[in-house]
């Protein structure tokens, strides 16, 4: 048995784990992300966690793989910028860690790591082509073609959330553009829609939950919809239709074998997947629309770290 060391650098938590060849997490360690400190603080933390994990096993460890949000150059092992780590600028993670542990070190962005996890051990298994989406506060994606991650000419491929879907009068997006898919089908878009139905008095079950002190979040909107709230059901129909319209474009354009959707919003289950699938069937060409499988991600929050271990084993393919 050989193990790989996976590392997931999130906005609030970092996780390091030893992962088997079968994608099983054997041992893991967490710590808070030192997000407001210079990069060296995180490097020190990584060294500490990795050393602790490696001391934990007699098995051979083949390499270190990492998934990090932001603009990552996997060929150079450099984090150019990361939204979670505002002080980081062109940080070389590979050289110091490779030197310290004598193992190959690979990194890529977090959505691509998640996609690798799903591709090898989750909903994407055996897919030759796949679009892997994560839908939460933002909407990210990774594209798999011929079983490999497609990164694009400037490593920017997969910014699915920033497809313009409203051409005039759209909301301002975090990216600076207006009318991006993310402003409609991400968390903020969902909450804005829910508030609209609340104001119109069309979301009574949601209103009752809020009156009981529950916090307005997508999960609550999903619970209210499941309990039959008409406004909340409509919220998911609209969100699923926005997402499905953009995916119908992707289906026509890429003709993927599979679409895998994860992230917090995907937990709404069939409330979301129903209208997504229906919209793809309505809007995309018949042949690719009928053949594409639209599936929920299977590995949950562990996809990133399991995918990082795949990166550690396989390296970065050009
Ligand atoms: Zn945008």
C-alpha to C-alpha distance for 144 and 152, rounded to whole angstroms: 11
Strand (E) positions, the chain? 2-9, 13-19, 25-32, 60-68, 71-73, 78-81, 91-92, 105-109, 130-135, 139-145, 148-150, 258-262, 293-296
Ligand 1 center from residue 275 Cα (angstroms): 23
Beta-bridge partners for 258: 130, 293
Task: Tell how strand 91-92 and strand 78-81 pair up.
Answer: antiparallel
142, 145, 173: which is closest to 155 by C-alpha?
Answer: 142
Ligand 1 center from residue 255 Cα (angstroms): 24
Ligand 1 center from residue 227 Cα (angstroms): 33
pLDDT at 318: 62
Ordered by where they begin, the domains of the chain are 2-119+301-314 (3.30.420.40), 126-297 (3.30.420.40)
Ligand 1 center from residue 158 Cα (angstroms): 12
Ligand 1 center from residue 80 Cα (angstroms): 19
Ligand 1 center from residue 156 Cα (angstroms): 13
Ligand 1 center from residue 114 Cα (angstroms): 21
Ligand 1 center from residue 310 Cα (angstroms): 30
Ligand 1 center from residue 137 Cα (angstroms): 12
* Distances in whole angstroms, Cα of residue 46 to Cα of each of 63, 96, 146: 14, 11, 33
Q: Is 18 helix (H, G, I), strand (E, B) or coil?
A: strand
In the chain, which stretches have pLDDT less than 70? 318
Ligand 1 center from residue 165 Cα (angstroms): 10
pLDDT at 83: 86
Beta-bridge partners for 78: 73, 92
| Residue 74 exposure: Cα atoms within 13 Å on the Cβ side | 28
pLDDT at 300: 92
Contact 27, 17 (CB under 8 A): yes
pLDDT at 56: 86
Ligand 1 center from residue 296 Cα (angstroms): 24
C-alpha to C-alpha distance for 248 and 279, rounded to whole angstroms: 7
Ligand 1 center from residue 176 Cα (angstroms): 6
C-alpha to C-alpha distance for 291 and 285, rounded to whole angstroms: 10
Main-chain dihedrals φ then ψ at residue 154, nearest 5 degrees: -120, 25
Ligand 1 center from residue 243 Cα (angstroms): 14
CA dihedral 272, 128, 148, 83 (to 10 degrees): 0
C-alpha to C-alpha distance for 42 and 39, rounded to whole angstroms: 5
C-alpha to C-alpha distance for 279 and 241, rounded to whole angstroms: 6
Ligand 1 center from residue 173 Cα (angstroms): 5
Residues 6+ away with beta carbon under 8 Å from 109: 67, 68, 69, 70, 71, 72, 140
Ligand 1 center from residue 184 Cα (angstroms): 10
Ligand 1 center from residue 69 Cα (angstroms): 16
Ligand 1 center from residue 132 Cα (angstroms): 18
Ligand 1 center from residue 110 Cα (angstroms): 18
pLDDT at 181: 97
Beta-bridge partners for 64: 5, 105
Query: The dihedral of CA 165, 171, 177, 180: what is its sign?
Result: negative
Burial class (CB within 10 angstroms; exposed 0-12, middle 13-18, buried 19+) of 84: middle
C-alpha to C-alpha distance for 267 and 264, rounded to whole angstroms: 6
Ligand 1 center from residue 140 Cα (angstroms): 11
Ligand 1 center from residue 56 Cα (angstroms): 43
Ligand 1 center from residue 168 Cα (angstroms): 14
Beta-bridge partners for 106: 65
Ligand 1 center from residue 139 Cα (angstroms): 9
pLDDT at 224: 98
Ligand 1 center from residue 136 Cα (angstroms): 14
Say how many C-beta atoms besides its own lie within 10 A of residue 206's C-beta. 25
């Amino acid at each position: 048995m050989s193990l790989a060391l996976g590392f997931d650098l999130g906005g609030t938590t970092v996780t390091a784990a030893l992962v088997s060849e079968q994608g099983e997490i054997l041992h893991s360690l967490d710590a808070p992300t030192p997000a407001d400190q210079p990069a060296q603080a995180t490097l020190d933390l990584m060294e500490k966690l990795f050393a602790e994990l490696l001391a934990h096993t007699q098995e051979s460890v083949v390499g270190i793989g990492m998934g990090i949000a932001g603009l990552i150059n996997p060929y150079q092992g450099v984090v150019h910028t990361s939204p979670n780590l505002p002080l980081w600028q062109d940080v070389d993670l590979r050289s110091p860690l490779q030197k310290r542990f004598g193992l190959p070190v690979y990194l890529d962005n977090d959505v691509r790591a998640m996609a690798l996890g799903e591709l090898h051990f989750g909903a994407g298994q055996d897919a030759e082509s796949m679009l892997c989406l994560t839908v939460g506060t933002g909407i990210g994606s990774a594209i798999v073609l011929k079983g490999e991650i497609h990164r694009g000419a400037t490593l920017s491929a997969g910014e699915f959330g920033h497809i313009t879907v409203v051409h005039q009068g759209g909301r301002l997006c975090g990216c600076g553009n207006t009318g991006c898919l993310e402003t409609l089908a991400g968390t903020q878009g969902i909450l804005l829609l829910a508030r609209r139905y609340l104001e119109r008095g069309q979301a009574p079950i949601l209103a009752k939950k809020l009156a009981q002190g529950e916090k307005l979040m997508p999960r609550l909107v999903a619970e209210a919809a499941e309990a039959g709230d008409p406004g909340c059901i409509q919220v998911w129909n609209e969100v699923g239709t926005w997402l499905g319209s953009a995916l119908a474009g992707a289906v026509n354009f890429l003709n993927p074998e599979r679409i895998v959707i994860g992230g917090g919003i995907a937990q709404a289950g069939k409330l979301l997947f129903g209208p997504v699938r229906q919209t793809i069937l309505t809007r995309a060409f018949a042949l690719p629309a009928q053949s594409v499988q639209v599936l929920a991600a299977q590995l949950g929050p562990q996809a990133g770290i399991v995918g990082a271990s795949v990166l550690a084993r396989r390296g970065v393919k050009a």
